[in-house]
């Protein structure tokens, strides 16, 4: 990715932006920076794609109604 | 709080997170049946402590905190599972204080992800050290903030950040290996 080495601060900013952990001021500055820097924009896009991929593809387990019923029964008898 | 009120809160605010708890529980214990046990323990503890839960606050974060504590205090002790720690975490934590070039950023091409299946992703996540696995599940799968993850896992926010950095990098590396095994070649030069 690009010619310049990736600085930790640079990646931290990308992560904090995508994880919604920047303050409003920091986010504004970051967005201005991103418009000026194609490498930053490219990195944000890649990291966003990776996060979306994980979120969409981790198989979700489903708790069966029988188990819920069992828990409710147990609660009934213990309380 | 009378029993009817307790039951109403439990059914409306707690039970809707049973599936999310089961997914998290599976990735903690690595077994479906153990995950079900852990959810059961978590929900029973939630029921017993429901008067401590404040309506309208973050029920999901409260439940995940109970589950994480139950995993450490109840399940892991019973199962006599040794604590597996990530020996690189200390290095990463120290490294975080520096602001030099990263030696460990994994640049994963989008095309490499296209043919990967849920099973490979599960396997890759489950291969991570428990603390890193927990961080990525709570952040990227469940959408908790750094501050919420810090509270759930009882570590400083800086540690959450470094665990996430490490977890994402290791996960990308694993997925890259799976993609390469499926025949995908990254032909880029190191540009």
ipTM: 0.83
The single-letter DSSP state of residue A45 is H
Q: Which of B10, B27, B30, B36 to mutate to test the interface with A (most CBs of A within 10 A)?
A: B36
d(Cα B146, Cα B52) in Å, to the nearest integer? 23
pLDDT digits (tens, 9 = 90+) for A3-57: 455 666 778 889 999 999 999 999 999 999 999 999 889 989 999 999 999 999 8
d(Cα B122, Cα B137) in Å, to the nearest integer? 11
Question: How crowded is residue B136: how many other Cβ atoms within 10 Å of its Cβ?
Answer: 24
Q: How close does chain A come to B153, measured CA to CA in Å? A: 17
- By residue count, chain A amounts to 79
pTM for the predicted model, two decimal places: 0.83
d(Cα A17, Cα B4) in Å, to the nearest integer? 43
Residue B82's pLDDT is what? 55
Location of structure tokens 């429901």: B50
Split at pLDDT 50, 70, 90, the class of B94 is very low
The mean pLDDT of B154-165, rounded to a whole number, is: 94
Query: All domains of chain B, ordered by start, with CATH?
Result: 117-191 (1.10.10.10)
| Conformational region of residue A20, where left means phi above 0, alpha means psi within -120 to 50, and beta covers everything else | left
Residues in B closer than 8 angstroms to A22, CB to CB, are none
The single-letter DSSP state of residue A78 is H
Counts of helices then strands in chain B (DSSP H, E) = 11, 0
Higher-confidence residue: A51 or B88?
A51
Residues of chain A with a CB closer than 8 angstroms to some CB in chain B: 1-3, 5-9, 11-12, 15-16, 19-21, 46, 49-51, 53-55, 57-63, 67-68, 70-71, 74-75, 78-79
């Amino acid at each position: 990715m690009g010619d310049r080495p990736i600085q930790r601060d640079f990646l931290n900013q990308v992560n904090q932006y995508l994880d919604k952990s920047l303050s409003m001021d920091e986010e504004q500055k970051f967005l201005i920076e991103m418009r000026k820097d194609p490498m930053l924009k490219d990195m944000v896009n890649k990291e966003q794609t990776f996060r979306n991929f994980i979120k969409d593809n981790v198989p979700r387990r489903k708790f069966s109604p029988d188990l819920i019923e069992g828990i409710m029964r147990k609660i009934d008898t213990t309380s | 709080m009378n029993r009817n009120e307790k039951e109403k809160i439990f059914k409306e605010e707690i039970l809707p997170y049973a599936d999310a708890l089961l997914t998290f529980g599976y990735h903690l214990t690595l077994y479906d049946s153990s995950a079900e046990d852990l959810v059961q323990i978590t929900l029973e503890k939630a029921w017993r402590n429901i008067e401590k839960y404040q309506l309208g606050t973050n029920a999901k974060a409260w439940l995940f905190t109970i589950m994480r504590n139950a995993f450490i205090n109840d399940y892991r002790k019973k199962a006599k599972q040794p604590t597996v720690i990530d020996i690189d975490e200390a290095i990463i934590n120290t490294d975080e204080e520096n602001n030099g070039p990263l030696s460990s950023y994994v640049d994963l091409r989008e095309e490499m992800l296209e043919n990967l299946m849920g099973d490979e992703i599960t396997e890759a996540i489950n291969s991570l050290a428990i603390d890193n696995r927990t961080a990525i599940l709570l952040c990227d799968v469940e959408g908790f903030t750094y501050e919420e993850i810090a509270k759930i896992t009882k570590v400083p926010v800086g540690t959450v950040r470094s665990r996430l950095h490490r977890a994402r990098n290791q996960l990308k590396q694993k997925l890259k290996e799976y993609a390469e095994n499926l025949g995908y070649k990254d032909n880029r030069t190191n540009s």
